[in-house]
Amino acid sequence: MKESVAERYAETKLSLQKYYENLVKLEISDPEKFHKVSYLGIKRSKHEEIQKEIEDAPCVDTIGQVGIFDDGIPFYHYRRAAFTKEGNRRLAEFGVKLKQSRFDPTEDRQIKRNWKSYCKLTNLFDPSEASEVFCDGQKRGKRVAKDPYFYAYLCRGLVDRTCAQVVRRVYILFNKAQEAGDDREWTESEDIMLKKLAKKHNNKWATIGRKLNRTRFTCYHRYTKLQKDEKVKSCCLTATEDNNGLNIENDHSENENLKTKSTSRSRYCKNTNSLITVLEELLKAEEESLRDKIKIVKFREWFTKRHALTEYDEAKKNLMCRQLQDVLKLCEAYRLFECLPIEHCNCYSKLEFVHYFLTNKKDKGSRTAKAMEDLFLKYVDDKTWTPRNRVLLCHKLDITPDKENTESGQIKKIQDASKERHLLDEDQNGYEENQIEKEENQDKENGEQVEEGQEEAQVENSDNEQRKNKNSKRKRSKTKEKREKKQEEEQLSQENEAQQTDKLPKVSENQRRINSKRIKPQKETQENREGPFEENRENHVEELHRELVEELHHESPEGPKNEKGTRKRSKTQTKKQENNVERPESNEEPTNKKKNKKEKQKEPEEERQVDEETQEKADDCLIIKTEQEIEFDTQPTYSSYNNSNYDQEGYNDSYSSPSSKSRGKNKSTRASNTNGNQRGDQRYTSDNEEEEIDPDSIIRNLLISVD
């Protein structure tokens, strides 16, 4: 029985295995490289040398229990439960850092794409019925799909997310409420309905949400807000009845107090001198303890309580804290601290670097990736340290140099490669000859198909693509050097093509191993399958593979279309996206708010400019980031600092509220079985409230450095 299930869904597995088989594990010592380029868990780089490195690097072995893979699929994508110490270790060993931050639009798009292509692959669902599948109330305990790889497929490409995270996101993403606009304003009638439904359904927010076409979250929060308001109203009424004047006076005096306490921000703006002084004192006074810390939990609290800051008022402390956090965030976003030697990877070095940065920064563009990286390298150099290597996952599909600076050439190549692999595959599996013929026939047409496919994708992705093409054309005409370079690259790529056959056995051996391990499709199971799909099963896989290639090359093929045509995103996302889309076209910021925002985003924008410059330089580079990606990459969240690579567990410490602590007491009873939401199982060590050295991360770091 078990086998037949696996057989029935062998395509899903095969497709996933194919997806991951081109992964390359790369060690990078230069912090400048990959400083902020992470695409759906698959790293990319514009550096030609890195592209070359990736090209030359052997593919990661994904078969068996190797690295993060269990039989070709990341182990934490199989099911949403069970994330154990062993799991942590494997992640650490493989250099995978799980994201803890919110899903960004690129990730959302990837999930949507995964859903679509899953529907296409299996015919189990219609892509349009996502909201029905995920939103209309799953029967408790019943799986959405019997396919054991269903969730793994939805996780495809999201290497730095766990199944649990993706599943949760999926339920929100495909919620019908998103279509209607979950952020729409509440009307009075809705409020009344909400109150009624809350009573009727006994605060079952998901049910209520479905009835009101909103998510459970918005219903819950609206209801609590309404209740709060009512309480306030009734309180006010009773209070004013009791002793009107006194209350008013009290309120007034409190307001006055607040006013006098608050300090004008402008007083401190752009003045880092005091921060530098404070940092100096802090480093002197707390050197010992800071050297022991890898991360400071509850940073704000910690910072404001330091003895060195007693002379400053609260507002000033908060501002300095914010300044400090900003710099730390950037460092994390640029992954600079990952290059600190393991023995110096502590808070002292981090803060010392911040101090170094603040004292040595130039005024303009000081926070661009390049500038910060330069300073960081200088700092490391001054210390006579050797930067630690980082391990990153890259996708081979991303980096093959292409001929005409069009992607078709590359896709062709990949297709050729996959064709060959596939044929070998078939041989191994003893597939029917006519199947192979079919494949061959199809592959003969590949070139045309690919071009067609590309055209389609270009239409879909017209803006970005056009920009890309325009850029590349313009650039090409600009310099002869670049042409020469290109010629060289052409030669290289020709050579590569010639070598491709040499390389193929590598991959195909990998594939062979997949085949030897995976359950071979048999006639019985074929009969079980649905007709139309069955005939084109392998074509499907190939097609999907092709899609994947296109996806990877077109960055966000469905992005604009999706947003436009289908569901409305969450407020934040929509706005972010709007910003992203609009910015390239017009630099004007119509409103004051936007101006403020602009000020806030000054650094990231500066950075973006630099990025564009580098983009210019990276003429022939296959991967040109879209504005969107750049935008998101340059907007690091504090969580990225909080949940830095050095301690996955730190996050849980930040939950050190009494409630979570008491909850934590019985976590051992829960241990690793039920609800193995990764978080639950990661929390072995959080005893120290303030700070904590994460043993896992140390091991990880050691592994990375030793590796």
Among 482, 670, 690, 699, binds DNA (CB under 7 A): 670
Among 169, 355, 396, 545, binds DNA (CB under 7 A): 169
As measured in angstroms, the least distance from the Cβ of 517 to DNA is 18
Q: Does 277 bind DNA (CB under 7 A)?
A: no
- For DNA, give the closer residue by CB, 257 or 522: 257
# residues contacting DNA (CB under 7 A): 85
Among 233, 252, 265, 378, binds DNA (CB under 7 A): 265
Q: Does 238 bind DNA (CB under 7 A)?
A: no
CA distance 166 to 80: 9
Q: Does 211 bind DNA (CB under 7 A)?
A: no
What lies within 8 Å, CB to CB, of 703 at 6+ separation is: 92, 93
Report the SS3 class of residue 69.
Answer: strand
Which one of 58-66, 245-253, 258-266, 477-485 is the stretch in contact with DNA (CB under 7 A)? 258-266
Binding mask 120-139 for DNA (x = CB under 7 A): --------------x--xxx
Burial class (CB in 10 A: 0-12, 13-18, 19+), 168: middle
Which residue stretches of 400-556 are H helix? 407-429, 433-444, 446-460, 462-478, 480-517, 523-528, 531-535, 537-554
Q: Does 673 bind DNA (CB under 7 A)?
A: yes
CA distance 352 to 283: 7
Which one of 96-104, 361-369, 476-484, 493-501 is the stretch in contact with DNA (CB under 7 A)? 96-104
**CA–CA distances in Å: residue 675 to residues 82, 86, 270, 681, 702:** 7, 17, 47, 9, 30
CA neighbor of 396 nearest in space, from 93, 42, 71:
42
Q: Does 659 bind DNA (CB under 7 A)?
A: yes
Q: Does 114 bind DNA (CB under 7 A)?
A: no
Are the CB atoms for 268 and 319 separated by under 8 Å?
yes
Are the CB atoms for 12 and 118 separated by under 8 Å?
yes
Which one of 18-26, 212-220, 510-518, 522-530 is the stretch in contact with DNA (CB under 7 A)? 212-220
Are the CB atoms for 532 and 540 separated by under 8 Å?
no
CA distance 693 to 297: 10
- For DNA, give the closer residue by CB, 221 or 520: 221
Q: Does 259 bind DNA (CB under 7 A)?
A: no
- For DNA, give the closer residue by CB, 100 or 525: 100
Among 24, 63, 155, 172, binds DNA (CB under 7 A): 172
Among 81, 283, 342, 377, binds DNA (CB under 7 A): 81
Element (H, E) at 66: strand 65-66
Q: Does 678 bind DNA (CB under 7 A)?
A: yes
* Strands 390-395, 23-28: pairing kind: antiparallel
Q: Does 263 bind DNA (CB under 7 A)?
A: yes
Among 42, 167, 336, 507, binds DNA (CB under 7 A): 167
As measured in angstroms, the least distance from the Cβ of 627 to DNA is 16
Q: Does 142 bind DNA (CB under 7 A)?
A: yes
Encode burial over 515-549: b for 16+ CB neighbours within 10 A, e otherwise: beebbebeeebeeebeeebbeebbebbbbbbbbbb
Are the CB atoms for 152 and 76 separated by under 8 Å?
no
What lies within 8 Å, CB to CB, of 390 at 6+ separation is: 27, 28, 29, 34, 95, 335, 338, 339, 704
At 51, the amino acid letter reads: Q
CA distance 134 to 132: 6
| Tokens 């990459």 sit on residue | 633
CA distance 360 to 366: 9
Among 326, 655, 690, 698, binds DNA (CB under 7 A): 655
Q: Does 429 bind DNA (CB under 7 A)?
A: no
* Strands 69-70, 42-43: pairing kind: unpaired
Query: Is the Cα dihedral 294, 299, 301, 305 positive or negative?
Result: positive
Footprint (CB under 7 A) of DNA, residues 539-578: 570-573, 575-576
Which residue stretches of 518-591 are H helix? 523-528, 531-535, 537-554, 559-565, 571-585
Which one of 7-15, 220-228, 423-431, 518-526 is the stretch in contact with DNA (CB under 7 A)? 220-228
Q: Does 88 bind DNA (CB under 7 A)?
A: no
As measured in angstroms, the least distance from the Cβ of 157 to DNA is 17
- For DNA, give the closer residue by CB, 349 or 642: 642
Q: Does 526 bind DNA (CB under 7 A)?
A: no
Among 682, 686, 697, 701, binds DNA (CB under 7 A): 682
CA neighbor of 103 nearest in space, from 560, 611, 572:
572
As measured in angstroms, the least distance from the Cβ of 172 to DNA is 5
Q: Does 663 bind DNA (CB under 7 A)?
A: yes
Q: Does 674 bind DNA (CB under 7 A)?
A: yes
Half-sphere exposure (Cβ direction) of 104: Cα atoms closer than 13 Å: 24
- For DNA, give the closer residue by CB, 191 or 281: 191
- For DNA, give the closer residue by CB, 183 or 690: 183
**CA–CA distances in Å: residue 451 to residues 254, 406, 412, 558:** 69, 10, 9, 18
- For DNA, give the closer residue by CB, 485 or 667: 667
As measured in angstroms, the least distance from the Cβ of 557 to DNA is 22
Q: Does 270 bind DNA (CB under 7 A)?
A: no
Which one of 142-150, 269-277, 428-436, 615-623 is the stretch in contact with DNA (CB under 7 A)? 142-150
Partner residues linked to 39 by β-bridges? 42
Q: Does 683 bind DNA (CB under 7 A)?
A: yes
| Tokens 């530098």 sit on residue | 276
Tokens of 258: 């607040």
Among 469, 667, 690, 705, binds DNA (CB under 7 A): 667
As measured in angstroms, the least distance from the Cβ of 287 to DNA is 26
- For DNA, give the closer residue by CB, 75 or 379: 75
Q: Does 243 bind DNA (CB under 7 A)?
A: no
As measured in angstroms, the least distance from the Cβ of 654 to DNA is 5
CA distance 257 to 260: 5
- For DNA, give the closer residue by CB, 482 or 667: 667
Q: Does 262 bind DNA (CB under 7 A)?
A: yes
Footprint (CB under 7 A) of DNA, residues 573-632: 573, 575-576, 593, 597
Other beta carbons less than 10 A from residue 610's beta carbon:
17
- For DNA, give the closer residue by CB, 19 or 223: 223
As measured in angstroms, the least distance from the Cβ of 138 to DNA is 2
Among 652, 686, 697, 701, binds DNA (CB under 7 A): 652
As measured in angstroms, the least distance from the Cβ of 567 to DNA is 12
Q: Does 102 bind DNA (CB under 7 A)?
A: yes
CA neighbor of 557 nearest in space, from 118, 102, 117:
117
- For DNA, give the closer residue by CB, 49 or 578: 578
As measured in angstroms, the least distance from the Cβ of 468 to DNA is 26
Burial class (CB in 10 A: 0-12, 13-18, 19+), 341: middle
Footprint (CB under 7 A) of DNA, residues 51-80: 79-80
Among 127, 128, 143, 616, binds DNA (CB under 7 A): 143
Q: Does 271 bind DNA (CB under 7 A)?
A: no
